[in-house]
Structure 1
């Protein structure tokens, strides 16, 4: 199958991931064994044509941290993962649409071993997270993008939902992954994505009970059970 994927990455990607990384959250020994070949396939293509290959390798590497053999995988395939990271960096330099940029940045973070943020940036490009209030547990939409910057507990597309504005972080006060991601987005020529990141690392409030919360904590809680993950 890897031979067919090398010849037609977009056409074979879904079938390959069904085999190597179902639902993009499960990987197997044969998945990790495919990483060196995926690195060679990516290296054989110019940056504009290797995105599908990186989108295959990224989830597999991300899954390594959930595997009992995760640490060994990163050690055994360190050279392939380093090459994939280098190839991804090349892809991030040219102008990209926000969705494509977010996907590639997630892959880059996966190859670096950066937890949480290697899973949730594509949803930021889509403009919405669905989270739970840390106090009352009500489901909340955190809208960050073209539709505005707010939280609400109802379907905001209907236009009648109560909305509470999100408060962006001060870029000058960002630290840790927030500072790094924001600076990276600006350096990569992605100012709109950088603006959205300020809201991800800002503050929100529940429209149901009024409890205030750090948006990054709520986002991290969706993708990781580790309460310390935002600072990973």
Structure 2
């Protein structure tokens, strides 16, 4: 991977040329190795812009990698590997940005900037608390503003698809956090209310 996709954010023509081999490996290796193969292929495809010729030239191995990942997601128990492989699945579909920034669903934290005053904020989507804070909440008591989740029945588009998928796969923790990721937060400093997902994607836009 140091040669194919350095730092997991740079791919080369040789990287994409490895996709047929990775697709073959994904079918022939055991579950533990399969996970690494799919993550490697996903990292490579995350570097390809949607609509890039790569999706046409390597359509067959990409489709195969998608099928294997789709099935593998149904068999994974732990949330950490699930979230990473869910990103790989999106990368094989050409879904940009979200194929890289779902990790906060695993860690329970995103760092964003307030769209109005520019203060750096923590968006915490934890098991017990979901809030925004402009100070390091892990070191001291800080002001916490509760997040406003979107009702599951009101989720739309990719948010709804991800929520339905995680529920179907038995990933309850991830499913519980998605309405907060696609909900709203308020800046503790200036009070501006904004969609969490908009600030997360703004943080990842090249």
Coordinate RMSD, CA, aligned: 1.4
- The match for 1:54 is 38
- 2: distance between equivalents of 1:48 and 1:187? 23
Match of 1:181 among 158, 162, 167: 162
Secondary structure of the residue that 1:50 maps to in structure 2? helix
Question: Where do 4+ consecutive residues of structure 1 move more than 2 Å?
Answer: 46-49
- The match for 2:131 is 150
- 2: distance between equivalents of 1:49 and 1:25? 21
8 Å CA contact retained: 1:95, 1:189: no
The answer to whether residue 101 in structure 2 is matched with residue 120 in structure 1 is: yes
Map residues 1-232 of structure 1 onto 2, 5 A cutoff. Answer: 17-65=1-49, 71-146=52-127, 148-225=129-206
8 Å CA contact retained: 1:185, 1:193: yes
Quote how far apart the aligned CAs of 1:219 are.
0.8
- 1: distance between equivalents of 2:143 and 2:114? 15
Quote how far apart the aligned CAs of 1:192 are.
1.3
Q: Deviations over 1:118-164 (max 9, x none)?
A: 11112221111001000000000000123620000111102311111
Secondary structure of the residue that 1:158 maps to in structure 2? coil
Any unmatched runs of 5+ in structure 1? 1-16, 226-232
8 Å CA contact retained: 1:47, 1:87: no
Secondary structure of the residue that 1:151 maps to in structure 2? strand
Q: Deviations over 1:36-94 (max 9, x none)?
A: 0111111112445400001110011110118xxx6111100000100000110121111
| Equivalent residue pairs, number | 206
Q: Deviations over 1:162-218 (max 9, x none)?
A: 111101111111111111111111011011111100100111000111100001101
Secondary structure of the residue that 1:20 maps to in structure 2? coil
Any unmatched runs of 5+ in structure 2? none
